[in-house]
Amino acid sequence: MNSAERRLYVGLHDDSARQAFRHSFWDGKAVSEEEYLQRIEWADAQFGGAKPGSGANTDQGRVYLSLGAPTSISRLPSSRVFVQCEIWYYNSLPRLGLGTQARFLFYRKEGAGPLQLYSPQLNSLRTLLIPNSGTRGLFAVNDIIRASDVPNSLNLPPAEAEVVDAASSVARGITGSGNSDIVNMAAAPAWALRRDPKERVQSRLLLSERPVLESFQSWTPDRLPVIDIQVKASVRASIGLSVQVSGVPLDEWQTQLEFITWTPVAYVHRLFLLPGDYTLVVDTDGVRTPYPLQVTKPSAATQILLGSTGETAGSAPFQFGALRLLPSAAPRMAMLQFAAPGRVQWRIVRGVEILSVASTETETTGFAGYTLPAQLPAGPLTLQARSTNEVVDLKLPTPEPERLDSRVVISHNANLGPAAALLSIGRQFLLNGNRPQARLCFTRALGQSRTANTLSALGRLEALDAHLDQARTLLQEALILDSHHFDALTAMGFVETEFQDYTVAAAYLERALQVRSLPALEQALSEVKGKLRAGR
């Protein structure tokens, strides 16, 4: 009963009027008044105390009021990995649009109080892990733990594997926000008990529109390709981006969000990639969408970028010198980059008719900007940017209402530290087996900024080239700057193993495992400990 219905009922002083109201009220519900009161009584007895409503107002109580008794229940009092959990199974929930088995996971985080309802979309498996020595450091602090990560890192008995399955999805085929929709309705008796619910729940994968991805390629003063990405999507819990080469992951980033409802966002990200073919995979609340990306060699001029100016933020995606230009449905500026600085003539033409002409100077980096006229004439228009040797054309879009301001701009700047471009390109050279080019990139990066990242990158390469003394010196300096630097710790474990100092090597590998758990690293530690035992 909502507040308006409650006020109306309280205002009825005639018994016959109240009886008529109750009859009309329950006539629109999927269960009778008697059955609903029995559910309340049972929920209070099972999940609450002596006070009426104490159990019905818990997460388990609300689901029981909405859906009735589950078909079966699986209980995990506690384990070496997970907190106390309970899984309710329903063979089907046609009122929620589910013709297959559904499962709802409840957990008790602190060991006391009522069990809480878990959302596969809004919660993380990290919520269910017991923070003991067996799980502490199993996953990096900022990593999102996926359902496949736990069984890959631990050998789970069937009961614990059942928890992982229930945490991954409410039902088979349900992804992303579809999980939250079902969980929210199951925990809202007023909705679930309606006789004819107006909504049907489907997979988020089926309901969501494909995120819109736009990219713009420029280059650094060293002529290294720079790719700026903007993704327009609606998200609630997380958004991420990964780069793949022939199906092999190259880099991956994830940003955790805390939106209460689906929120339109413009996610911007800057990449440094060698020329070649890549696949970008956009992850919006667990729904992964691939896009092809071709990175070309720097040429005489880039394409023209249309957009609206944004706040400057130092090193940031779509930041070009002093100008930050974010792609927009209602652009106010145009920009491009020429290989050589000089004067640029901008023209707006309609067919063979020249409608306007303006000139600007490029910056020393070759970027040139142009403010578009406030009012553009009608008709198909083309914008031209002319330098001494190059002409770049772009058809101007039909003006649309500005929509970017209604989106939350999420700018991923974490990968844009000092010497970021050289480090990224150097890692790609190393992955391709081109160690001389990787060394050149890492050496120049270290010359620009002496950080744990640059020291570790060159130190790892020195270790691979068997320059162990140089590697040890660089890696030790990196760990002075950042004692938890994963790459430096693993490389030091390798170096000390080569020096046959197995005790020190094991210590470094154990520290690395506390930062991030990897099966290959665990194997390396096991082998080092085996050599220690053999030498005693």
101, 188 in Cβ contact below 8 A?
no
Higher pLDDT, 86 or 29: 86
Give the whole-angstrom CA distance, residue 277 versus residue 128.
Answer: 39
Percent of the chain with pLDDT over 70: 86
Q: In total, how many domains does the chain have?
A: 4
| Residue 375 sits in the same domain as residue 438 | no
Which pLDDT value is given to residue 227?
93
Which pLDDT value is given to residue 198?
42
- 57-82 confidence digits (pLDDT tens): 899 999 999 888 888 888 887 777 88
Cα–Cα nearest to 317, from 250, 271, 367, 264: 271
Assigned domain for 147 exists: yes
| Domain termination site, one of 386, 412, 438 | 412
Which pLDDT value is given to residue 206?
35
pLDDT band at 209 (very low <50, low <70, confident <90, very high): low
Give the whole-angstrom CA distance, residue 509 versus residue 353.
Answer: 69
pLDDT band at 182 (very low <50, low <70, confident <90, very high): confident
> Which structure tokens are listed for 308?
């609206």
pLDDT band at 199 (very low <50, low <70, confident <90, very high): very low
Higher pLDDT, 479 or 52: 479
pLDDT band at 208 (very low <50, low <70, confident <90, very high): very low
| Residue 319 sits in the same domain as residue 398 | yes
- 345-357 confidence digits (pLDDT tens): 999 999 889 999 9
Assigned domain for 394 exists: yes
Specify the range with the lowest mean pLDDT, choosing from 128-142, 281-295, 431-445: 128-142
CATH of residue 511:
1.25.40.10
pLDDT higher than 70, residue 495: yes
| Residue 128 sits in the same domain as residue 163 | yes
pLDDT higher than 90, residue 215: yes
Which pLDDT value is given to residue 138?
56
Specify the range with the lowest mean pLDDT, choosing from 46-55, 146-155, 215-224: 146-155
Residue 491: count of CB within 10 angstroms of its CB: 27
Give the whole-angstrom CA distance, residue 237 versus residue 122.
Answer: 6
Which pTM does this prediction carry?
0.55
| Residue 155 sits in the same domain as residue 55 | yes
Cα–Cα nearest to 159, from 223, 105, 227, 228: 105
| Domain termination site, one of 165, 193, 221 | 193
Assigned domain for 199 exists: no
| pLDDT (average), residues 382-400 | 86
| pLDDT (average), residues 358-363 | 91
Which pLDDT value is given to residue 64?
92
Supply φ then ψ for residue 199, to 5 degrees.
Answer: -105, 155
Where do the DSSP E strands lie in 77-190? 84-90, 102-108, 116-117
Give the whole-angstrom CA distance, residue 88 versus residue 96.
Answer: 16
- On the CB side of 241, how many CA atoms lie within 13 Å of its CA? 27
- On the CB side of 280, how many CA atoms lie within 13 Å of its CA? 24
pLDDT band at 226 (very low <50, low <70, confident <90, very high): very high
Assigned domain for 327 exists: yes
Antiparallel, parallel or unpaired: β 305-309 and 116-117: unpaired
> Which structure tokens are listed for 361?
């100077």
Which residue segment(s) compose the domain that 404 sits in?
212-412
| Domain termination site, one of 412, 431, 466 | 412
| Residue 368 sits in the same domain as residue 428 | no
Q: Which residues touch 175 (CB under 8 Å, ≥6 apart)?
A: 169, 203, 204, 205, 286, 287
| Residue 325 sits in the same domain as residue 463 | no
At residue 47, the 3 state secondary structure works out as helix
59, 46 in Cβ contact below 8 A?
no
| pLDDT (average), residues 489-513 | 92
DSSP state of 419: T
Which pLDDT value is given to residue 128?
86
DSSP state of 297: P
| Residue 361 sits in the same domain as residue 234 | yes
